[in-house]
Amino acid sequence: MADIAGNALKIEKLSKSYGTLKVLDEIDVEVKKGERVALLGPSGCGKTTILKIVAGLTRPDGGNILLEVSKIGFVFQEDRLIPWKTVCGNLEFVSSDTHKVEKVLKLVRLWDYRNFYPLQLSGGMKQRVNLARALLVEPDLLLLDEPFKGLDLEIKAELMNEILRMCRSMSITALLVTHDLREALIFADRIYVLSPAPARVKNVLEIDLPSEHRDFCDTKLLDKEKEVLSQGFWLPFGLPESPLRSK
């Protein structure tokens, strides 16, 4: 059996095709316990497929997934809330422990909205319920599939802070997939840059930004973004225009 010592998740030579379309080509990723890792790649390169394979929703064609965790939380790209259930009902669908439900709803500051239906909530609030549902299972590994997609900057920053706060306070190992470099820089300790489909790991970036600089408008972060961009890596599409890039 392959060695996984120190890692919560080890992905080895992962390959996957959909019919004749090859989406993953021998992907290697390591996530240490308590670490936050981001997979950065363009839309359609197979990032979500990696998460689905890790979560056991899809079978890979080749390679190994070695997991040293028992519980996985998944923050989906779409909120995936049951429309005819209240916020509380959606969480109780996953766990019937009402004390835990109350605890996580207070953590994500949605306790006052517990009897609201998903259609009564804003996009940001729905994503917070999505996050609360993932935290409810007390995950050892949190998978985040572009959770900020479609949110405006203010809500995105608020949700990012929420997620970072949870990950730090609960020492959760997390794997984020995104096409947004800035999101990855704020979130991750390490970034795996993926090529367009079939996805291969092109570069691995170690991010040593202190937590106080992990903010969407922080100058140090923007400098880091500029530094990464100047290294001439393949750049994700749809990167928000940074004031430093236009200099």
Partner 1 sequence: MVAGISKTADELLKPFMMVVRSMPVVSWLASAILLWGMGWMTPTFIVAVSLFPVVSFNVAEGVRSVDLLLVEMAKVYRVPKKRIIVDIYLGSLVPFVLSAFKVSIGTMWKVAIVAEYLAGNKGIGVELSWAKFYLNTPKVFAYTMLAVLAGLSLEKVFDFLWEVYGKRWRISPEMH
Q: Which residues of the chain form contacts with partner 1 (CB under 8 A)? A: 55-57, 72, 74, 76, 78, 80, 82-85, 93-94, 116-117, 119-123, 125, 133, 137
**Helices 123-136, 87-94: crossing angle, 10 deg rounding:** 30
- Cβ proximity to partner 1: between 135 and 205 the closer is 135
- Cβ proximity to partner 1: between 1 and 119 the closer is 119
- Across the beta sheet with 72-75, the strand order is 72-75, 141-145, 173-178, 36-40, 190-194, 201-206
Least distance from C-beta 77 to partner 1, angstroms? 10
Distance (Å, whole) CA 58 – CA 29: 17
- Cβ proximity to partner 1: between 74 and 192 the closer is 74
Residue with tokens 């009564």: 120
Least distance from C-beta 214 to partner 1, angstroms? 27
- Cβ proximity to partner 1: between 34 and 89 the closer is 89
Least distance from C-beta 23 to partner 1, angstroms? 18
Distance (Å, whole) CA 209 – CA 226: 14
Least distance from C-beta 146 to partner 1, angstroms? 14
Print burial letters for 217-235: b (CB count within 10 Å at least 16), e (below 16). Answer: eeeebbebbeebeeeeeee
